[in-house]
Amino acid sequence: MGPVSGRKGAHVRKLGVPGRTAVVVLAAALGTMSPAGAWAQTTDDDSGLYYAYPPPSSGSPPSDDGQPDQAYKKNTECVQRDLNNNLVLRDKPWGQTYLQIEEAQRLALAKTGTIGGNKTVAVIDTGVTNHPYFKHPVIGGGDYVNPPNNGLEDCDGHGTEVAGIIAANTPADIGFKGVAPDTQIVSIRQSSQNYGPANGGSSSQSGKGSRQQGDGAGNLTTLAKAVRRAADRGDVSVINMSVDNCRQSTGTISPQEQALQAAIHYAVHVKNIVVVAAAGNVSDSCKQNDQPNPNKPQSIVSPPWFSDDVLSVAAVDETGGVANFSVHGPWVSVAAPGTNITSLDPSQPASTALANQVVEGGNLQPIQGTSFAAPYVTGLVALVRAQFPGLNAQQVMHRIEATAQHPGAPGGRDNYIGHGVVNPVAALSAIVPEEEGIPAAKDEQLPSGLPPAAHRDWAPVIVALGGTGGGLLVLLITLFVMHTIRRNRHA
């Protein structure tokens, strides 16, 4: 993640590793899982199929045993709080103001009496540490890294910050607010960079949707199982996945990707759950999609690739433009703020602290990434579902896309911010024609509004100009003659 100027009053966190100061590295949204095994369904034409768009979902979702793909052990201690830093962050994050979150919350409260109440959000991430600013204690929903912890340990710090953007319920004198503070968070830990294989071997297992070696725990197989687990709970309205897999585009889809696609399709179409995912961050192993043909991207990011069933969220910065780290692609649905993030401090021991910076490479860095744009949208989904209980998952997705601030592009979307930056106030108050049985607007060729061209008879003009020209010629001849006569007299 590229550097962005930091905010004054950073809450710095250090890892509690004896004998040295270690670097806090949030679980990367990209590159943590690299699919392996046989590739399937290769294309043989120039259509771009399976490049920009995956094949339709097929098959049943994977079963869930609740277990990791292998045994893991903790290699790095969980993120620790800097006990010498007692600064309280009271400033309101720019993204919160930009999206008019508090105005949207007032609308939600007036309409429903709560701000996302009675809605449960599953956060599939690095775990979530219970924080005093959650209105409801986080529910442990499963753990594919260390099962006894049941998702309530967040060694990496990533999942807690994601959950905080969704549901933090802070006091009135603190500017930072979660989007939907009355919601219930369920944590399912699916990945961790602080853990590694217990046998000390490679983390790569051929044919099981494995990670890049050394990238810790978590792969596409366990991600698919985590989605299935969240879907089968029966109380989840929204799933947030700020963990992605980025690979080079090959025009194919792997069995592990197909399993994840099937799990998401099951969650949306069978269990009526809205799935939100981060669009992904550019890195050395995840090239930006800036190639000439947008239908043949260089990089494929899952789960955003499955955009028929996923709200894929890009990041914008303080200028309102797409953040330079946000991966482009035809699968991008909408965008939200993803730079200079403030959220709950995930470090131990637990406190009422917030965080807006981390230490990366020995340097202070602001919290940023599409990982943190996604929970803004997830919180909005919770508000919309509470206010419009009759809408199914895909109708909720459409409402959020239809009310976004569309870019100036054909069809009102592009590959950078999708349908545009989300507009929470509009999402909670606008009339969406399709919901009212009104046909969707269609492109129409409109007249210019100018009067028709006049077919003028130019003959009188030509005669008049001819007469004028003739008169000028006679005048010139007369003047010439007079001038000649006068010269002769003087001679």
Of the residues 11, 158, 265, 419, which is catalytic?
158
Structural tokens at position 83: 């006990």
Clarify whether 371 is annotated catalytic. yes
Indicate left, alpha or beta for 234 from its phi (over 0: left) and psi (-120 to 50: alpha): left
Clarify whether 158 is annotated catalytic. yes
Structural tokens at position 375: 């929970």
Contacts of 50 (CB under 8 A, 6+ apart): 41, 42, 43, 251, 252, 253
Query: What SS3 state is found at 161?
Result: helix
Of the residues 203, 249, 254, 371, which is catalytic?
371
Nearest to 27 by CA among 381, 346, 352: 346
E strands along 174-309, which residues? 184-189, 195-197, 236-241, 245-248, 274-278, 299-302
219 and 202 Cβ atoms separated by less than 8 Å: no
Residue whose structure tokens are 């095994």: 37
Report the C-alpha gap between 79 and 230 in whole angstroms.
26
Helix spans in 125-278 (H): 158-167, 220-232, 255-269
Biggest CA pair distance of the chain: 129
Neighbours of 487 (CB within 10 A): 9
Structural tokens at position 465: 């100009």
Of the residues 64, 69, 125, 244, which is catalytic?
125
Report the C-alpha gap between 412 and 91 in whole angstroms.
34
- H, E, C per residue of 46-79: CCCECCCECCCCCCCCCCCCCCCCCCEEECCCCE
Contacts of 263 (CB under 8 A, 6+ apart): 61, 62, 224, 225, 227, 228, 231
Residues annotated as part of the active site: 125, 158, 371
